[in-house]
Amino acid sequence: MRKTVSRHGNSYALVLERSLMELLHITPETPLEVTTDGKSLTITPQVTRRITPNELAAHAMLAEQKYAAVFEALSK
């Protein structure tokens, strides 16, 4: 996808299409981490959603089931 920057006051802005924002699950309020290696620009959404206790328990149960043998070996 090719993009160009647009004038925005005294600065420039990179406009993101709604479809791209939906794909990345970001909104205008989502904090974005902008990094560079000197040659390219990387923009990463910073997810701030907190996992609920029920979601955490469900993930822990799945991990216990999937890695039962590993956990058993580690506990010895």
Q: Return the domain boundaries, the chain.
A: 5-74
- Alpha-carbon torsion 63, 69, 70, 73, what sign? positive
Say if domain 5-74 classifies as CATH 2.10.260.
yes
Q: If you average pLDDT over every residue of the chain, what do you get?
A: 91
- The pTM (predicted TM-score) of the whole model is 0.53
Query: How does pLDDT run across 32-67, given as a tens digit for each residue?
Result: 999 999 999 999 988 766 788 998 999 999 999 999
Record the tokens describing residue 6, joined without a space: 């647009």
- Give the integer Cα–Cα distance in Å for 59 and 66: 10
- Give the integer Cα–Cα distance in Å for 40 and 68: 42
